Structure 1
Amino acid sequence: MDDKQHRWRPPAKRRTPERLAAYHREAELAREAIDRRDADAAMHHLERAHILGQPWPGAHSWTHWMMLRLGLSVGDWREVAGQVLRLAAGGLFSIAGWLPDGNTGRARVSSIKSMEPPADLVALCGGDKTP
Structure 2
Amino acid sequence: MEVSKLQKKFDQELDLGKQHFDNKEFSLAFYHFERAHILGQPRYSWHVKSHYWMFKIGLRTINLKEILGQMIRIIGSAGSLFGKYPVGNTGGANVSPFKAMPIPDDLKPFFE
The TM-score, its normalising length taken from structure 2, stands at 0.93
Tell me the residue number matched to 2:111. 125
User: 1:45: how far off?
Assistant: 0.2
Stretches of structure 1 lacking an aligned partner (at least 5 in a row): 1-15, 127-131
Please show how residues 32-51 of structure 1 align to structure 2 within 5 Å. 32-51=19-38
Which structure has greater helix proportion? 2
Per-residue deviation, 1:17:
1.3
Q: C-alpha displacement at 1:99, in angstroms?
A: 2.2
User: What is residue 69 of structure 1 aligned with on the other side?
Assistant: 56
Between the two proteins, the alignment pairs up a number of residues equal to 110
Runs of 4+ in 1 over 6 A off after TM superposition: none
CA RMSD of aligned residues (A): 1.2
Q: 1:1-131 residue pairs with structure 2 within 5 A?
A: 17-90=4-77, 92-126=78-112
Higher RCO (Cα < 8 Å, 6 or more apart):
1
- Supply the AA of the counterpart residue of 2:38: I
Larger of the two Rg values belongs to structure: 1
Shift of 1:125: 2.4
| Percent identity for Structure 1 against Structure 2 | 35
Q: Normalization by structure 1: what TM-score?
A: 0.80
Distance in 2 (CA, whole Å) between partners of 1:104 and 1:80 is: 16
Equivalents in 2 of 1:71, 1:125: separation in Å? Answer: 29
